[in-house]
């Protein structure tokens, strides 16, 4: 094993899959000569040329439509959106056409494509460049949604996404790009299955379900809560938002009796509310105390660092939510 960054893990997955399969190509704004806004696609143009690493004008509707068409005739495009906020510009192509094509054609047409890009706060980019869209896109059938938090999961899930015969939305958080983690040596295949959560920290008192950058914040919060208050938290990394791995979530809740679902998109109509609802519907007897969700406050994301930290469900707010739950009475 070796240590590498989240960016390098994604770059390796792209390179290895492009070498393995000539139908795989990249398309998006500045993915070629510039190497991507955060340099995720750096040096790929040198190896694969302009026919497989395609720089486009600023026209999300145009290049997204081109990619969906290419996927329908057998190619495997990987589209980079510079900011995931911009998926709203091409929402019809992605959510109303590409995601539904297999169903609308009676299974005759497949759309094997990946839409990847970064989302989230932490860089003071303001309201139109900092949103998390996971809860929004999870409402649409026909598209899978993944959000890896570690370099290992980033590489393994991207390879699985590229090989999938359905459209996959691959969400990167901008605060993860320079984090580091273990990865097998170059040449050793890394595959993480879509739809399988992972327990990142064992615990006995409370199940904290999360994904993306919130995972790192949750793990830090869990360590501090254990040291400061003796609360032993189990942290479940969903890794995939659609489809949800409720089997792993329920197994953890069965052990701890408490549930807190944390995500950076807004709590209102969010993934956290869905997880809490499913636990109450499928296994309410597992809960010893009321389950809870924690998401971003229902406001536009401010540029101010102080205000941004106030509204995002990061370590300080996670710890506050856990301690508030801890003061609630436990069922007999």
Three-state helix/strand/coil letters over the chain: CEEEEHHHHHHHHHHHHHHHCCCEEEEECCCCCCCCCCCCCCCHHHHHCCCCEEECCCCHHHHHHHHHHHHHCCCEEEEEECCHHHHHCCHHHHHHHHHHHHHHCCCCCCCCCEEEEEECCCCCCCCCCCCCCHHHHCCCCCCEEECCCCHHHHHHHHHHHHHCCCCEEEEEEHHHCCCEEEECCCCCCCCCCCCCCEEEECCCCEEEEECCHHHHHHHHHHHHHHHHHCCCEEEEECCEEECCCHHHHHHHHHHHCCEEEEEEEECCCCHHHHHHHHHHHHCHHHCCCCCEEEEECCCCCCCCHHHHHHHCCCHHHHHHHHHHHHCCCCCC
Q: Residue 317 above 80 pLDDT?
A: yes
Question: Which of 80, 68, 76 minimizes the C-alpha distance to 24?
Answer: 76
In-domain check, residue 55: yes
In-domain check, residue 164: yes
Whether 237 and 293 share a structural domain = yes
Q: Please state, for a pLDDT cut of 90, what percent of the chain lies above it.
A: 92
Q: Residue 117 above 90 pLDDT?
A: yes
Q: Residue 312 above 70 pLDDT?
A: yes
Domain total for the chain? 2
**What is the structure's pLDDT at 71?**
98
**What is the structure's pLDDT at 187?**
80
pTM of structure = 0.96
In-domain check, residue 98: yes
Whether 141 and 237 share a structural domain = no
**What is the structure's pLDDT at 331?**
63
Confidence label for 329 from pLDDT (cuts 50, 70 and 90): low
* Location of structure tokens 């589209």: 79
**What is the structure's pLDDT at 150?**
98
Range 140-167 average pLDDT: 97
Whether 173 and 282 share a structural domain = no
Confidence label for 266 from pLDDT (cuts 50, 70 and 90): very high
Q: How far is CA 153 from the centre of its chain?
A: 10
**What is the structure's pLDDT at 330?**
64
Whether 215 and 122 share a structural domain = no
- Under 8 Å between Cβ of 11 and 38: no
pLDDT in tens, 198-237: 999 999 999 999 999 999 999 999 999 999 999 999 999 9
In-domain check, residue 189: no
Q: Residue 263 above 70 pLDDT?
A: yes
In-domain check, residue 330: no
Q: Residue 327 above 90 pLDDT?
A: no
Whether 43 and 155 share a structural domain = yes
Range 285-302 average pLDDT: 95
Range 286-307 average pLDDT: 94
In-domain check, residue 190: no
In-domain check, residue 218: yes
Whether 153 and 33 share a structural domain = yes
What is the extent of the structural domain holding 310? Answer: 198-325
In-domain check, residue 149: yes
HSE at residue 275, side-chain half, CA atoms within 13 A, is 38
Range 119-138 average pLDDT: 91
**What is the structure's pLDDT at 307?**
92
Q: Residue 332 above 60 pLDDT?
A: no
Range 34-47 average pLDDT: 94
Whether 160 and 23 share a structural domain = yes
**What is the structure's pLDDT at 41?**
96
Range 65-70 average pLDDT: 97
Q: What residues act catalytically? A: 129
Whether 138 and 14 share a structural domain = yes
For the chain, the average pLDDT equals: 95
Q: Residue 145 above 90 pLDDT?
A: yes
Confidence label for 88 from pLDDT (cuts 50, 70 and 90): very high
Whether 156 and 60 share a structural domain = yes
């Amino acid at each position: 094993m070796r240590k590498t960054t989240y960016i390098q893990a994604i770059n390796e997955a792209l390179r290895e899959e492009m070498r393995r399969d000539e139908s795989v190509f990249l398309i998006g704004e500045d993915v070629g000569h510039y190497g991507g806004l955060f340099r995720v696609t750096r040096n790929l143009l040198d190896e694969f040329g302009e026919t497989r690493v395609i720089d486009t004008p600023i026209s999300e509707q145009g290049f997204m439509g081109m990619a969906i068409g290419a996927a329908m005739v057998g190619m495997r495009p990987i589209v980079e959106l510079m900011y995931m906020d911009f998926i709203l510009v091409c929402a019809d192509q992605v959510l109303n056409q590409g995601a539904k094509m297999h169903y609308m054609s009676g299974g005759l047409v497949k759309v094997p494509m990946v839409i990847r890009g970064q989302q989230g706060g932490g860089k003071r980019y303001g309201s139109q460049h900092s949103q998390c869209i996971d809860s929004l896109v999870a409402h649409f059938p026909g598209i899978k949604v993944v959000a890896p938090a570690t370099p290992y999961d980033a590489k393994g899930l991207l390879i699985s996404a590229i090989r999938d015969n359905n459209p996959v939305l691959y969400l990167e958080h901008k605060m993860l790009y320079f984090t580091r983690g273990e990865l097998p040596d170059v040449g050793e295949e890394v595959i993480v299955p879509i739809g399988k959560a992972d327990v990142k920290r064992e615990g006995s008192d409370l199940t904290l379900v999360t994904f993306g950058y919130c995972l790192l914040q949750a793990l830090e919060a869990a360590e501090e809560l254990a040291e400061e208050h003796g609360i032993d938290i189990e942290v479940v990394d969903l890794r995939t938002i659609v489809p949800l791995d409720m089997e792993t979530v329920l197994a953890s809740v069965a052990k701890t009796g408490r549930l807190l679902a944390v995500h950076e998109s807004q709590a209102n109509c969010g993934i956290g509310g869905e997880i809490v609802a499913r636990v109450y519907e499928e296994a309410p007897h597992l809960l010893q105390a009321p389950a809870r969700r924690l998401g971003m406050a229902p406001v536009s994301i401010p540029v101010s660092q102080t205000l941004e930290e106030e509204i995002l469900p990061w370590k300080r707010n996670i710890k506050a939510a856990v301690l508030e739950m801890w003061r609630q009475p436990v069922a007999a």
